[in-house]
Amino acid sequence: MSILEAKHEAQKIAFAPLFFQAMVALKKLGILKLIAENNRGITIADIAEKSKISLYGAKVLLEAAASADVVEYLNDHTVKLTKIGYILHIDRITEVNMDFVNDVCYDGAKFLTESIQTGKPAGLKTLGSWPTVYEGLSQLPEEIKESWFAFDHHYSDDAFPAALEIVFKDNPAVIFDIGGNTGKWAFACCRYNPDVKLKIFDLPGQLAVAQQNAATLGLQDRIEFHTINVLDETQQLPAGADVIWMSQFLDCFSENEIVAILKNVYRAASEKTFIYILEPFIDNQKFDAANYCLTGTSLYFTAIANGNSKMYALDAMKQLAQDAGLQVIETIPLIGGGYHTILKCVKVQ
């Protein structure tokens, strides 16, 4: 890269938040959709009129979009979408990520430096006053909550169909879902196998939502709900699981906390219990874009979620499992859309 190119790249970083908000505006105002529907070219005057904004407003947004390679000018007055523009317009994962960054992360990101210095999620105060985001999830304003859950679910939903095949090979009768959230995995298990029973463990806010969802689906007889704060080491998991399942759960904690949680799992497990860890590991991705998303997600953990967790590398997680007395007996990579790996573990006697 020449020094001039490097300078250009540095300016992209310097202005990134403004360009980001310009793209959010183009989406919210329906302008990307409008251009997509007229992609032989549409004039800026037409865009302003149809979107009910000023010509000035249309010009500044479209000039920003052209700088970001989202639109191209066919002449001084006419634009069309580029490939990047189309992705911004129609790609679901891009939409989920943008909504999550804008609604959940954007305001709090300004406190990242303080979060790094203090080890606390200093940006969380922009959403509410809880020690971590997890205590507040069920109380978030509706739009923000929707973006948080869409982000969380988009990634794990993708992995669940293939994960069910793997977990049910051993025909478990009782599954514990630690950090079971609103119950999606538990409900998928109940649909997959008519006999399996589940226990969901989570903080009270999420558990109440899961319980309500289970009642709506008529699954109260097959699922039990246990309030737990896994960071409180006096709260022990009970025995009795054939499978202990943790999906996108351990990345919510620091390395020391993960070892303590997995030791809790170890004590609850019998020699016949299979322990599954489902995670998107940063270094085990097929696509550069996936690695980029996960690295960005770590910054959300730092500034907003809890101040001390991150997305982990595969070997780092294996080491933490081993430190807690677990043996990883199988590593099943890249199921579903390609983000996740399953670690199948047993306790070392």
Ligand X SMILES: C[S@@+](CC[C@H](N)C(=O)[O-])C[C@H]1O[C@@H](n2cnc3c(N)ncnc32)[C@H](O)[C@@H]1O
Does 203 engage in binding with ligand X (CB under 6 A)?
Answer: yes
Distance between CA atoms of residues 277 and 110, nearest Å: 32
Q: What is the DSSP string of 179-192?
A: T-TTSHHHHHHHHH
Pick the closer one to ligand X by CB: 144 or 230.
230
Segment near ligand X (CB under 6 A); pick from 33-41, 67-75, 89-97, 228-236: 228-236
Q: Lay out the site mask for ligand X across 159-198 (x = CB under 6 A, - = otherwise).
A: --------------------xxx-----------------
Strands 340-347 and 174-178: unpaired
Amino acid at 318: K
State the minimum distance, in angstroms, from the CB of residue 156 to ligand X: 4
Q: What is the DSSP string of 235-266?
A: SPPPS--SEEEEES-GGGS-HHHHHHHHHHHH
- The footprint of ligand X on this chain (CB under 6 A) covers a number of residues equal to 17
Q: How far, CA to CA in Å, does 344 sit from each of 185, 331, 339, 347?
A: 17, 6, 17, 11
State the minimum distance, in angstroms, from the CB of residue 247 to ligand X: 3
232 with 173: CB under 8 angstroms?
A: no
Question: Contact with ligand X (CB under 6 A): which of 87, 98, 164, 231?
Answer: 231
Distance between CA atoms of residues 209 and 189, nearest Å: 18
With CA atoms as reference, report the closest residue to 80 among 55, 43, 27, 117.
43
Distance between CA atoms of residues 52 and 30, nearest Å: 10
State the minimum distance, in angstroms, from the CB of residue 297 to ligand X: 10
Does 297 engage in binding with ligand X (CB under 6 A)?
Answer: no
Question: Contact with ligand X (CB under 6 A): which of 103, 202, 242, 279?
Answer: 202
Q: Compute how many other C-beta atoms are within 10 angstroms of the C-beta atom of residue 303.
A: 26
Segment near ligand X (CB under 6 A); pick from 19-27, 53-61, 241-249, 328-336: 241-249
State the minimum distance, in angstroms, from the CB of residue 157 to ligand X: 8
State the minimum distance, in angstroms, from the CB of residue 248 to ligand X: 4
State the minimum distance, in angstroms, from the CB of residue 169 to ligand X: 20
State the minimum distance, in angstroms, from the CB of residue 160 to ligand X: 8
Tell me which residue has its CB nearest to ligand X.
Answer: 179
Site for ligand X in 243-262 (CB under 6 A): 247-249, 252
| Tokens describing residue 113 | 């430096």
Pick the closer one to ligand X by CB: 122 or 230.
230
84 with 70: CB under 8 angstroms?
A: yes
Q: Lay out the site mask for ligand X across 61-100 (x = CB under 6 A, - = otherwise).
A: ----------------------------------------
**Which residue(s) pair with 226 in the sheet?**
201
Pick the closer one to ligand X by CB: 134 or 225.
134
Q: Which residue has the tokens 């649909």?
A: 191
Q: How far, CA to CA in Å, does 133 sit from each of 121, 125, 181, 304?
A: 9, 10, 13, 7
Distance between CA atoms of residues 255 and 237, nearest Å: 19
Question: Contact with ligand X (CB under 6 A): which of 46, 152, 224, 323?
Answer: 152
Does 156 engage in binding with ligand X (CB under 6 A)?
Answer: yes
State the minimum distance, in angstroms, from the CB of residue 183 to ligand X: 9
Q: What Rg do the C-alpha atoms of the chain give, in angstroms?
A: 23
Question: Contact with ligand X (CB under 6 A): which of 97, 102, 147, 206?
Answer: 206
Question: Contact with ligand X (CB under 6 A): which of 27, 81, 97, 134?
Answer: 134
Q: Compute how many other C-beta atoms are within 10 angstroms of the C-beta atom of residue 275.
A: 27
Residues near ligand X (CB under 6 A) are 134, 152, 156, 179-181, 202-203, 206, 228-231, 247-249, 252
